[in-house]
Amino acid sequence: MALSAEERRLQEHLLEFLTPARRDRLREVLAMRTRRLAVVLEDVHSSHNSAAVIRSCDAFGVQDVHVIETFNEYETRASVALGSEQWVTIHRYLDSDDPRRVCLTRLRDCGFRIVAATPHAGSRTPQSLDLSQPCAVVFGAEKEGVSEVILAEADELLTIPMHGFVESLNISVAAAICLQELSRRVRTECNGWGLSDEEKEELFLEWTRRSVPNVEAIAQRFRMGGG
């Protein structure tokens, strides 16, 4: 959705509070963001793990994280996320009695294939997963993994090849490994992987607001004509 004239004027005003280097950095990061790849966290127990996955999403340019909270409430640990949560769009489904169903339906309506991360044999790997359509990768709870509901609904299963005695990795480690390779492939193999101009404009305003100290007071004075 395009910015209104008022939002554009406010953005120009707020930019005066950012250094040129900061403005350039925001634009540089936006240029590498993608919505062709998304992450879904299903009932993750540990705030440490949730925060680490969010940090990986930011690091690898994945803008959207969908959170399913059927049994476990979502929270992150600031010391692990290191502020990355403010640069990633978090989608929650708190008003639904069936957050799994609502989340999957929303993703499918947006053209996503559902990909469940699992140690099951016969799964695709980050190197072989079909990326011809946008993919939403689901990571499940630490012990239980992805739920049977998600596994049954998934269009594809995704696994990380391993050659030792362990059968699985910590969710935050697995997510980082998958996202590094999948985001690299999206940028090299997929046309139109970046954000639209409108999406960049909208996020640029949001990120600008989050970069300016006391932004609400500044914005209020601006709207009242005080600058």
Tens digit of each residue's pLDDT (9 = 90 or more) over 8-50: 888 888 888 889 999 999 999 999 999 999 999 999 988 889 9
**Residue 20 in domain:** no
**Residue 9 in domain:** no
**Residue 122 in domain:** yes
- pTM higher than 0.85: yes
Q: Report residue 89 as tokens.
A: 């769009």
147 Cβ contact list (under 8 Å, min separation 6): 42, 43, 70, 100, 140
Q: Tell me the percentage of the chain whose pLDDT exceeds 90.
A: 64
State how far the Cα of 82 lies from the Cα of 140, in Å rounded to an integer. 23
The overall average pLDDT reported for the chain is: 90
73 Cβ contact list (under 8 Å, min separation 6): none
Confidence of residue 184 (pLDDT cuts 50, 70, 90): very high
State pLDDT tens for residues 53-102.
999 999 999 999 999 988 877 776 554 444 788 999 999 998 888 999 99
Asked whether residue 190 carries a pLDDT value surpassing 90, the answer given is yes
State how far the Cα of 172 lies from the Cα of 184, in Å rounded to an integer. 18
pLDDT of residue 81: 46
For the chain, how big is the Rg over CA atoms in Å? 19
Looking up residue 157, the CATH number of its domain turns out to be 3.40.1280.10
DSSP the chain: -PPPHHHHHHHHHHHTTS-HHHHHHHHHHHHT-BSSEEEEEES---HHHHHHHHHHHHHTTB-EEEEE-SSS-----HHHHTTGGGGSEEEE-TT-S-HHHHHHHHHHHTTPEEEEE---TT-B-TTT---SS-EEEEE-BTTTBS-HHHHHH-SEEE-----SS-----HHHHHHHHHHHHHHHHHHH-TT-B--HHHHHHHHHHHHHHHSTTHHHHHHHHHTT--
**Residue 84 in domain:** yes
Stronger pLDDT, 123 or 62, i.e. the higher one: 62
Closest CA to 68 of 46, 45, 48, 92: 92
Q: Which domain holds residue 146?
A: 34-216
Domain count of the chain?
1
**Residue 201 in domain:** yes
User: Residue 71, exposed/middle/buried by CB under 10 A (0-12, 13-18, 19+)?
Assistant: exposed
Q: Of 26-30, 128-132, 141-145, which range is least confident?
A: 141-145
pLDDT of residue 171: 93
113 Cβ contact list (under 8 Å, min separation 6): 130, 133, 134, 135, 136, 155, 156
* 14-18, 119-123, 179-183, 213-217, range with greatest mean pLDDT: 179-183
